[in-house]
């Protein structure tokens, strides 16, 4: 068994702790469980990570800072700061994926499938955003959420292109990571604004935990061959 996989297994108690914290509504315990997960995996993947890579440092660093800020997330400005750190980290995540790309022209079927998937995802995100519109009263908050979801939308485009024209293990980790980010963020807003249900929070935090693991797997895996479709 790989050295890093032992540390992934060591994170299972943290997952149990996180889910227990959600059920008991103990926010500080949830933050400790999430941050400890980052630290355990950082130790486990340290041999495979290139710490001279700015994208790795910024993505992991910003998310760890955002996690620590969750101790004070009941304060409006702090919650906005958490989302800002996450939004910027997604830019570095997309930047890391684009670093390995080689552009090629896609055939008509692939282009059709791409735009079909893009349309379906856009529809569901727009429906979710319309629900948020009724709950968000501040213009500044609305603009901020718009920027946040634009970044997520761009990340989803990169993810779909990976899915259509890549066969590497690294791209599989990337697709899984982006899907967990998208769904977890939507579930977070659902629970916050219009569907405050414990089951939603449980699923959101489970996906968040899986996303942390996928992030380390993505950054630690070497790229063999990756091509993105030229859609211009």
The answer to whether residue 190 scores a pLDDT higher than 60 is yes
Q: Where are the domains of the chain?
A: 51-230
> In this structure, are residues 152 and 210 in contact, taking their beta carbons and an 8 Å threshold?
no
> In this structure, are residues 97 and 55 in contact, taking their beta carbons and an 8 Å threshold?
no
State the pTM of this model: 0.85
Q: What is the largest CA-CA distance in the chain?
A: 52
- Amino acid 114: pLDDT: 57
Q: What are the beta bridge partners of residue 228?
A: 103
Among 9, 26, 8, CA closest to 205? 26
> Which H helix or E strand runs over 134?
helix 108-135
The answer to whether residue 6 scores a pLDDT higher than 80 is yes
Rounded CA separation 116/122 (Å): 10
**CB atoms < 10 A from the CB of 122, how many?**
14
**CB atoms < 10 A from the CB of 107, how many?**
9
Q: What are the beta bridge partners of residue 103?
A: 228
**CB atoms < 10 A from the CB of 52, how many?**
7
DSSP 193-210: II---HHHHHHHHHHHHH
Residue with tokens 């684009």: 98
Average pLDDT, the chain: 83
Exposed (0-12), middle (13-18) or buried (19+): which is 177, by Cβ within 10 Å? Answer: buried
Summarised one tens digit per residue, pLDDT across range 48-91 is: 999 999 999 999 999 999 999 999 888 878 888 999 999 999 99
- Amino acid 67: pLDDT: 96
> In this structure, are residues 102 and 227 in contact, taking their beta carbons and an 8 Å threshold?
yes
- Amino acid 117: pLDDT: 61
Degrees, nearest 5: CA angle 200-201-205: 120
Rounded CA separation 166/164 (Å): 6
End-to-end CA distance of the chain: 44
- Amino acid 122: pLDDT: 66
Rounded CA separation 160/163 (Å): 5
């Amino acid at each position: 068994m790989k050295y890093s996989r032992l540390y992934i297994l060591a994170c299972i108690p943290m997952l149990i702790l996180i889910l227990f914290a959600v059920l008991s509504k103990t926010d500080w315990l949830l933050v400790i469980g999430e941050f400890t997960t980052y630290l355990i995996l950082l130790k486990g993947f340290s041999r495979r990570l290139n710490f001279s890579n700015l994208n790795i440092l910024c993505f992991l660093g910003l998310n760890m800072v955002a996690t620590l800020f969750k101790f004070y997330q009941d304060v409006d400005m702090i919650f906005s700061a958490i989302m800002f750190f996450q939004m910027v980290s997604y830019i570095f995540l997309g930047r890391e994926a684009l670093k390995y790309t080689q552009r090629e022209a896609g055939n008509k079927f692939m282009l059709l499938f791409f735009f079909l998937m893009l349309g379906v995802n856009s529809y569901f995100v727009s429906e979710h955003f319309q629900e948020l519109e009724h709950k968000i009263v501040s213009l500044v908050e609305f603009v901020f959420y718009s920027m946040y979801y634009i970044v997520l939308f761009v990340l989803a485009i990169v993810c779909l292109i990976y899915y259509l024209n890549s066969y590497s293990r690294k791209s599989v980790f990337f697709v899984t990571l982006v899907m967990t980010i998208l769904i977890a963020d939507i579930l977070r807003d659902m629970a916050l604004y219009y569907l405050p249900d414990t089951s939603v929070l449980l699923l959101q935090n489970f996906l968040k935990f899986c996303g942390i693991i996928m992030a380390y797997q993505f950054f630690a895996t070497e790229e063999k061959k990756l091509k993105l479709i030229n859609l211009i």
